[in-house]
Structure 1
Amino acid sequence: MTRTRPDSAVDETKLPTDIWVLVAGAFIVAIGYGIIAPVLPQFAESFGLGVTAATIVVSSFAFFRLVSAPAGGRLVNRLGERPVYVTGLLIVAASTFAVALAQTYWQLLLFRALGGLGSTMFTVSAMALIIRLAPPTARARAAGRYATAFLLGNIFGPVVGGLMAGWGMRVPFLVYAVALVIAAAVVYFRLGRNERLLAAEAKAAEERAAEDGDPEPDPANGTAAGESPEPDTVEPDRSTMRFREAWQDSAYRAALVSVLAHGWTSMGIRVAIYPLFALHVLGAGAGVSGLALTVFALGNTVAVAAVGRWADRLGRRPFILTGLLIMGVSTIALGFSGSVAVFFVLSAIAGIGAGLLNPSQQAVVADVVGPHRAGGVVLSRYQMAMDTGAIFGPIIAGLLAESLGYSAAFAVSGAVVLLAFVVWLSGRETLPSREDGSQPAQR
């Protein structure tokens, strides 16, 4: 059943300053990644080992993200979100700087792969921070703003990278490394500042209460002795949510399937198959291939910017189901594009579907974990599902394209998305109740 909030309830829920700090950090990271994305395959190929060796460098980053995700989740549970986030960014910065200095292909492969370890750390911890900091009535909006920052960075990053084309292939990696250090500094100092301000305010309130002769605060819950604690001042329970517990929730199980489909299509075949289809089937040049990716990103950005507020009002499921249906049908239709114009239109539609899906399914996972539980392992499994789709989707689609043609590759990829749609038909709505913030019953 769809849950609806009055407009005023949505408008009054403002995103905390810390969320905007994370959004700023995401934009810096994304624009830096956009700078190196067009250069990395060419840089790898410059060592003279061929196209396959170059693509292995690109895939090694995602592969190491996948294998390190469980450890990243445990680190978040043990050390906390902010230290893991900052450390992950600095690891990627160091590995990117090393890539710029690589003298052999194997050095390049090793340094780029190590960056995947740091990427997992800051990705999982960022999701955990959003869950903890965003109000329950604004989780989809917070996830949408964070995703929009990444999308805008990925749109403008290649433009900046193109302006650096004459500076050599190593310079973009140095620029990206510096950008990551800046992002780490922004998150470390701004989030730390907000936490110190809150602590200072709490201490000042205690001192004023003591001067006024008020009862001593109860150290267990921050209230005066003998008084009932207010709901929003109770010390949160930071117990750990285990994967087995989350797996019992139909919404979490469905989210794992849909994020795998999202990784397969939006992150996998979009980068690996779209350009090849434009080149070999439509006879278009490299410029058209790149423009198709931009059109997809623009459609994604428009949808993401709008969906957050509405998913926090009407529920997560309507947008997840609509996004999966749009993305699945348009992906299948892409394989039958007969012109560049049709290809562009369908790319934009697929981007809109992905934009409706992603913030909503991230909000579902946030709802399942909740702000008072440590869910690093649960979040890492979610990240692993997406990386699995991003790694194996292009490989399977590539084999299908070579053996049966591109139409078959797009058809199977779209079918994976529609399978996720079917799974979500039995997934529960997780939007918390406006009255008390409680979750709908699990099923």
Structure 2
Amino acid sequence: MFTDNGEHRLCLIAGLAIANHAFGLSEVSCLNTKPLPSQRRALDWLNFFLADVRDGLGPYLAIYLLAVHHWQPAEIGLVMSLAGITALLAQTPAGALIDSTKAKRAVVVAAALLVTGSCLLLPWLSSFAAVAITQAVGALAGSVFAPAIAAISLGISGPKAFTRRVGRNETFNHAGNACSALLAGGLAYLFGPVVVFYLMAFMTVASIVAVAQLDAAAIDHQLARGLDHGPGGDDHPAGLKLLLHNRTLLVFAVCCALFHLANAAMLPLVSQKLSQIDLRLATPLTSACIVAAQLVMVPMALLVGAKAEHWGRKPFLLAGFLILPLRGVLYMVSDNPFWLVGVQLLDGIGAGIFGALFPIVVKDLTEGTGRFNVSLGALTTVFGVGAALSPGIAGLVVQNAGYDTAFLTLAAIAGAAFILVLVALPETLPGASPSPSSTPKPKPAGH
């Protein structure tokens, strides 16, 4: 059923070759100009359709394993943690790959095919080892999406328009999540939870079509990796040690890790509670939770994109981090399905703000270094540690002390993250008061 590592590499190479041939995805650097409306629309639709692909099955995996295979919560948490660990180990190399390659669109296509393929195998698998392997493969492929989309966006829009572009990316990403969740909920109610696998396959095909609409010549690969463009720019990226000495970047990494340690397990735990209340309604109600949050994330992403250049980054970060402990506590108030769906609306504020600001803050702290994508991958690795550990820890707490104790534990972790942002993270908006912990912008070679 599964190939060895050498065959996996051959499949990936073959996929890239097919994508290059079929869609003309070979890319060359170009001089960045104002993106054409067609390129902006292509990025919009790519974010919309890729929303259902980039995270794999997400919380639906917990429902599927619980309802179809009758797994224990600890087993579900462990397989999700193993996939998360695989993803986090791949994040930094994925960022480095995106920094160095000019075939960014081909990488997105190959990754989307691998993620979807790994999920489509699940209806024929039941053993822990087989499920863990498929999810690990999907997580490995999915690690390239975040740096690839960020790099393509920066390479097309340039740094000055990047904040607004990221806000637009997140808006269409959340709209795509909401749309796919609505479809998944309705179709799962009619045909069972397995239908979400085939919905993902459709979204993958649509994502590939959207990628093909992006013009290779519209991407400035020098800007895409965070290097300055023009006569004063430096074509050589800074050494990685420069980033390790950036204390603000390191503090932000710890904040991100704590945020995801608290956040990643919340929706899967809610899904499991819904499964115990009414198994037939579990998938539709989980879809309702996702839709509720995503609908709130849309205006949050738009707000960040429109106002983060004027109000700064930190006020938004404080608001996003404050919502998370409040949400964890409110899940303990009632087991009523409508209450749980209502509380999930708060996720739209916290995660909506965080998702939009994350690449913007990394861009702020790495601008001019040429290490934007590898830094994005490295920080994703750090907060991925939290996201990977979260389901496993929460599953063990549930099994030994119940769901309320698990939610309270996650809320306490989230409270610690908020305090750290409040007291230790400075404003990163360019032009704001400089922080002594910030990394100085490297000078061009020869200076």
Q: TM-score range by the shorter chain?
A: 0.7 to 0.9
Matched, 1:274 2:298: no
Letter in 2 for 1:28: F
**Post-superposition shift, 1:395?**
1.9
- Report what 1:180 is aligned to: 204
- TM alignment of 1:25-36, pairs within 5 A: 25-32=46-53
After TM superposition, give the deviation of residue 392 of structure 1 in Å. Answer: 1.0
Q: CA deviation at 1:310?
A: 1.1
Aligned equivalent of 1:354: 351
Check 1:51–1:193 CA distance in 2 against 1; reply closer, same or farther (3 A cut): farther
Greater mean alpha carbon deviation, residues 58-67 or residues 273-282: 273-282
Matched, 1:146 2:169: yes
Matched, 1:76 2:98: yes
Report the alpha carbon displacement of residue 124 of structure 1 after superposing the two structures with TM.
2.0
What CA distance in whole angstroms lies between the structure 1 residues aligned with 2:65 and 2:334? 32
Aligned residue for 2:51, secondary structure, equals helix
Cα distance, 1:148–1:114 mapped onto 2, change above 3 Å: same
Q: Report the CA distance shift for 1:101/1:413 in structure 2 as closer, same or farther (over 3 A).
A: closer
Query: How does 1:287-436 map onto structure 2 within 5 Å?
Result: 287-337=284-334, 339-340=336-337, 342-370=339-367, 373-424=370-421, 425-433=423-431
Gaps (5+ residues) in structure 1? 1-13, 200-230
Which residues in structure 2 correspond to 1:183-332 (within 5 Å)?
183-195=207-219, 233-234=230-231, 236-266=233-263, 268-278=264-274, 286=282, 287-332=284-329
C-alpha deviations, 1:291-324, integer Å up to 9, x for none?
3343233333332222221112111011101211
Shift in Å, 1:419: 1.8
What residue is the counterpart of 1:86 in the other structure?
Answer: 106
Alignment partners' CA distance in 2, 1:108 and 1:402: 21
Q: Could you tell me whether the CA contact under 8 Å between 1:57 and 1:109 is conserved in 2?
A: yes
For 1:343-362, what per-residue CA distance to the aligned partner results, in whole angstroms no more than 9, with x for missing partners? 44432234313323332233
For the residues of structure 2 that align with 1:361 and 1:405, how far apart are their CA atoms? 33
TM-score, L = length of structure 1: 0.73
Match of 1:65 among 84, 87, 94: 87
CA contact (8 A) 2:115 2:142 kept: no
Structure 2 CA distance, aligned partners of 1:142 and 1:162? 30
Paired residues of 1:296 and 1:347 also in contact (CA < 8 A): yes
Please give the alpha-carbon distance, in whole angstroms, between the structure 2 residues aligned to 1:152 and 1:269: 22
Query: Relative to structure 2, which stretch is displaced further, 177-186 or 144-153?
Result: 177-186
- Which residue is 1:122 aligned to? 145
**Which deviates more, 244-253 or 285-294?**
285-294
Native 8 Å contact 1:144 1:304 kept in 2: yes
Alignment-mate amino acid for residue 272 of structure 1: P
Task: Check the 8 A contact 2:121/2:134 in 1, yes or no.
Answer: no
Deviation (angstroms), 1:46: 9.0
CA distance in 1: counterparts of 2:106 and 2:185, whole angstroms:
28
Q: Deviations over 1:11-46 (max 9, x none)?
A: xxx987555533321211124569955765576679
Q: Is the 8 A contact 2:59 2:271 kept in 1?
A: no
Partner residue of 1:160 out of 179, 183, 194: 183
Deviation at 1:370, TM superposition (A): 1.6
Amino acid at match of 2:43: L
CA RMSD after TM alignment: 3.9
Shift of 1:159: 2.8
- Matched to 2:211, the amino acid is V
Give the conservation status (yes or no) of the 8 Å contact 1:251–1:429. no
- 1:24 aligned to 2:53? no
- Change in Cα spacing, 1:304 to 1:262, as seen in structure 2 (3 Å) is farther
What is the rounded CA distance, in whole Å, between the counterparts of 1:111 and 1:283 in structure 2? 25
Quick one: structure 1 residues 328 and 194, their matched pair in 2 at CA, closer, same or farther if it must change by over 3 Å? same
Q: How big is the shift at 1:416? A: 2.0
How many Å separate the matches in 2 of 1:344 and 1:46? 20
- Change in 2 beyond 3 A, CA 1:439/1:76: farther
Which digits, 9 at most, give the CA deviation of each residue in 1:147-197, with x for residues without a partner? Answer: 2222222211133335555678777545534543542453355131425xx
Q: Which stretch of the first structure deviates more once superposed, 67-76 or 285-294?
A: 285-294
Q: How many matched pairs?
A: 391
SS at match of 1:77: helix
CA change 1:401–1:49 in 2 (3 A) is closer
Q: Distance in 2 between matches of 1:135 and 1:282?
A: 49
Q: Distance in 1 between matches of 2:275 and 2:317?
A: 32
Q: Deviation at 1:411?
A: 2.5
Pick closer, same or farther for the CA change 1:173–1:417 going to 2, 3 Å: same
Give 3-state SS (helix, strand or coil) of 2:267's partner: helix
CA contact (8 A) 2:54 2:112 kept: no
Identity %: 20
Shift of the 301–138 alpha-carbon distance from structure 1 to 2, 3 Å rule, reads same
Classify the secondary structure of the residue corresponding to 2:299. Answer: helix
Superimposed CA distance per residue, residues 261-285 of structure 1 (whole angstroms, 9 cap, x where no aligned partner):
332344x123221233456699996
Offset at residue 367 of structure 1 (A):
0.9
Change (3 A) 1:413 1:172: closer
Q: Relative to 1, partners in 2 of residues 1:299 and 1:364: Cα closer, same or farther, differing over 3 Å? A: same
